[in-house]
A and B are shown apart, each in its own frame.
Chain A
Amino acid sequence: MVMPKNSQSNNRQLVRKLRISCIIGFLVIVIGGAISIPFIYESQTLWYKIGVDKTMLRAGQITGLLAVILLFVQIILAVRGKFLQELFGLPSLMRWHRVNGVLVFVLVLCHVTLVLAPEGFLNLPIGMKYWPELVGLILFLIVFVMVVSSLFRQQLGFAYIRWRTIHKSLGYLALVLVAIHVLFVSESFEHSIPRTGLIAAVATVVIIVFRVKTAALQKKRKQ
């Protein structure tokens, strides 16, 4: 049976819309699930906060988790898998990647401010026993360097190839550090469901990166 060209195009559009809807739906579910963690698996630190302090700490935890999800999305966008390229087109993916990067930085900034404020900015968690928090500080610096160096690469005089190599390396380092930070800093992630969820999310990102990179390498070899 031969379908008319118009109908084929309509079908393709429908499949595209369906795929985009699935991606958006999946993201909404993941974000919803992450936001529910500070409520369902409330940390003991939250038990001992009252009033504004409690609101700030919970908001800080939520912004932190949002930043984590967007960081995962950021890495998936950065590797530009065939599936996403076909769906959105390369320029859209790169635009999304840039906007998402700034959003991650803003969320990280909010997270740091809201989490530290209840204990006081003069009472910072510094020292060996606060190593998971210090991993968070390193992450904050990495995200800051990545965003600033991307936005002002030319003004800062970074050569593209060198910048790209460093940017990529820092991105993968951030993925590892964010998993360590969340797993060890948050009491909510001592529970098996959030812990498993996070590990599964990191594993998914790693698998996607690995598959895209392997496919790209095979394509290069064939050429």
Chain B
Amino acid sequence: MKRFSMVLLALLFLIATIQPVLAAARVWELDKGHSNFYFSVDHIFSKVHGQFNDYSGEIRFDPDNLAESRFHFAIKTASVDTNIAKRDKHLQSADFFDSAKYPLLTFESTKITDAGNGLYEVLGNFTVKGQAYDLVLPLSFAGIKDHPAAKGKEVAGFNGKVTIDRLVHKIGTGKFYDLGVVGKDVEIFVSLEALSSK
């Protein structure tokens, strides 16, 4: 009886420890040197391009286990870079991101669906200025391959575009839009490379 109990306990322990390992999707580490969150927005007639230089991310992705896959990004608004320091400072002010009060933009996926042809629709909560909004980020999965430069590593690639209305997200009050200076639609281009040990 005692022996049976010991075996049962050992089995339960094994199940408890192995199951999450089996269920969790593969963890990928963002290659920050080759990833970014770019954006472009209309300025009267032209387009102003920018990017965020400081962000963190967590990717768990397995095409065969989408239920356990997830994407989480946290972007520091103070790292906005449009190649003009004074414009960046203005974007960080209360007129736009209000970085002092709201230092982060976050995206936390809640559901990933396979739309076919390597396209995944990542539904998640996009939090801007403390307010969460539903956002579908369509990510095109470029595939997984051995990293040509780093031995023992595999690289996965994702690219996606989404357009958001900055005024809906309260990035600005609309005064510059009303003046016809800054557009309200912001095109966001997400380009990611993520690494994982083989």
Q: Judging by beta carbons under 8 Å apart, are B100 and A123 in contact?
A: yes
Which of B1-9, B86-94, B117-125, B159-167 lies at the binding interface?
B86-94
Q: How far is the CA of A101 from the CA of B55 in the complex (A)?
A: 46
Q: How far is the CA of A120 from the CA of B96 in the complex (A)?
A: 12
Minimum CB–CB distance for B91 against chain A, Å: 10
Minimum CB–CB distance for A97 against chain B, Å: 35
Verify if B11 is at the interface (C-beta below 8 Å from A).
no
A123 surroundings in chain B (CB, below 8 A): 89, 92-94, 99-100
Q: How far is the CA of A44 from the CA of B176 in the complex (A)?
A: 14
Verify if A13 is at the interface (C-beta below 8 Å from B).
no
Verify if A45 is at the interface (C-beta below 8 Å from B).
yes
Which of B99, B100, B175 counts the most chain A CB atoms within 10 A?
Answer: B100
Verify if B85 is at the interface (C-beta below 8 Å from A).
yes
Q: Judging by beta carbons under 8 Å apart, are A119 and B181 in contact?
A: no
A130 surroundings in chain B (CB, below 8 A): 85, 89
Q: Judging by beta carbons under 8 Å apart, are A120 and B100 in contact?
A: yes
Interface magnitude class on chain A:
10 to 19
Q: Judging by beta carbons under 8 Å apart, are A45 and B100 in contact?
A: no
Verify if A5 is at the interface (C-beta below 8 Å from B).
no
Minimum CB–CB distance for A107 against chain B, Å: 22
8 A Cβ contacts from A98-126 to B: 118-120, 122-123, 125
* Inter-chain CB contacts under 8 Å: number: 30
Verify if A191 is at the interface (C-beta below 8 Å from B).
no
Q: How far is the CA of A119 from the CA of B94 in the complex (A)?
A: 7
Q: Judging by beta carbons under 8 Å apart, are B175 and A119 in contact?
A: no
Q: How far is the CA of A48 from the CA of B93 in the complex (A)?
A: 12
Residues 44-65 of chain B: 1 if any A CB is under 8 Å from the residue's CB, otherwise 0? 0000000000000000000000
- If the complex has contacts A50-B175, A120-B100, A123-B100, are A45 and B92 also in contact, measured as CB distance less than 8 A? no
Q: Judging by beta carbons under 8 Å apart, are A120 and B94 in contact?
A: yes
Which of B88, B89, B99, B175 counts the most chain A CB atoms within 10 A?
Answer: B89
B94 surroundings in chain A (CB, below 8 A): 120, 123
Q: Judging by beta carbons under 8 Å apart, are A45 and B90 in contact?
A: yes
Q: How far is the CA of A44 from the CA of B88 in the complex (A)?
A: 13
The number of residues on chain B lying at the interface, defined by a beta carbon within 8 Å of a beta carbon of chain A, is 14
8 A Cβ contacts from A141-194 to B: 187
Q: Judging by beta carbons under 8 Å apart, are A119 and B93 in contact?
A: yes
Query: Closest chain A residue to B179 by CB distance?
Result: A50
Minimum CB–CB distance for B174 against chain A, Å: 12
8 A Cβ contacts from A117-139 to B: 118-120, 122-123, 125, 129-130
Q: Say which residue of A119, A122, A129, A187 sits within 8 Å of B90 (CB atoms).
A: A119
8 A Cβ contacts from B62-110 to A: 85-86, 88-90, 92-94, 99-101
Minimum CB–CB distance for A56 against chain B, Å: 13
Minimum CB–CB distance for B135 against chain A, Å: 26
Query: Closest chain B residue to A44 by CB distance?
Result: B86
Which of A118, A122, A187 counts the most chain B CB atoms within 10 A?
Answer: A122
- If the complex has contacts A48-B90, A48-B176, A48-B181, are A122 and B85 also in contact, measured as CB distance less than 8 A? no
A44 surroundings in chain B (CB, below 8 A): 86
A48 surroundings in chain B (CB, below 8 A): 90, 176, 181
B181 surroundings in chain A (CB, below 8 A): 48
**What are 5 sample pairs from A and B whose C-beta atoms fall under 8 A apart?**
A119-B93, A123-B92, A123-B99, A123-B100, A187-B86
Residues of B within 8 A of A (CB): 85-86, 88-90, 92-94, 99-101, 175-176, 181
